[in-house]
Amino acid sequence: MAQLPNPIRLGEVPQVLPGYEFLNRSEVKAAGLHRDLYKGISSLKGFPAEAIVLSGGYEDDVDLGCSILYTGEGGNQDGRQVADQQLTGGNLALSLSFAQQTPVRVIRKVQEGRLSFYQYAGLYYVTQFSQEMGMSGHRIWRFRLEQMPQTATVVPPQAQEPEAEYAAARRRPALVQQIVRDTAVMRAVKQLYDFRCQVCGTRLPVPGGAYSEAAHIRPLGGAHHGPDKITNLLCLCPNHHVTFDRGAWAIQEDFCLLGQTGQLTVAPSHHPHPEHLLYHRRRIYQPQPPASLFA
């Protein structure tokens, strides 16, 4: 007996929030965000589209973050358009999304060097679509999607902290600037090393997986202005992260350690930038003088 497809699922998926990351398309499908492992458009015949994946596979795509020009499916070979597209299948489903103004889930493929993963971007609406001539001279269906405002997470009453019986501490308004860290690239470097410290190899098991920390070689804050890139990141255990940030040890160009014995483990696809290592040695590292034999 043929297996019936899963029922149509439009809008948000419970417990999957914008910003959630997935290692591959299988995880995206298992989370209920997209029903297909290969197609860009998730849809069922006769219904609006459920979701799209932006993977960089179409030359006419334009991704501006909150606004997307998305190329329909069909006629594509190795990233180039080789035939005209038809208003059928997923393209027809996206046109129904426009006509009925139903939300579309957007998933992005994120590429950082040789590492890649998928990130859920939230809900978008199709605000316009048209047939156009693509870059390679073939007719394509192009859809403009605009991100809908994200709604705040509502905390159920039973989960809220009871009102305190004591007076609240005094507060004053202040303007604070915070560094926005790229959590995706930080997660990528930890996954690259399977959450093992690049110095001692420690992997800390915790409920649901393992724990490690992404350490910036050249700090982001203060006057350092380090980049939030994988070439400026290490995967360390908490102890080595703290001591590295405090300047207790450093890394030479050949990845031998200064301030302690050993050598940094470096994966073939990970390339810590020599300039960041040099910056840390000169500005952060504080070599300790050898103990006197006559003390």
pTM above 0.85, yes or no: no
Task: Collapse the DSSP code of 108 into the 3-class scheme (helix H, G, I; strand E, B; otherwise coil) and give the result.
Answer: strand
| Cβ neighbours for 164, distance < 8 A, ≥ 6 positions apart | none
CA pair distance 90, 72, nearest whole angstrom? 7
Task: Parse the chain into domains and list their residue ranges.
Answer: 21-147, 183-284
Helical ranges in 128-247 per DSSP H: 183-192, 238-245
Residue with tokens 């302690």: 260
What does each of the 295 residues of the chain score in pLDDT, given as a tens digit? 445 467 888 989 988 888 888 889 999 999 999 999 988 999 999 899 999 998 877 777 788 778 888 888 888 877 777 888 899 999 999 999 999 889 999 999 887 777 788 899 899 999 888 888 888 888 889 899 988 875 433 334 444 444 444 455 555 554 444 444 556 788 889 999 999 999 999 999 887 788 889 999 998 766 778 888 899 999 999 999 999 998 999 999 999 999 999 999 999 999 999 999 999 999 899 887 654 444 4
CA pair distance 109, 196, nearest whole angstrom? 25
Give the CATH architecture of domain 21-147. Answer: Roll (2.30)
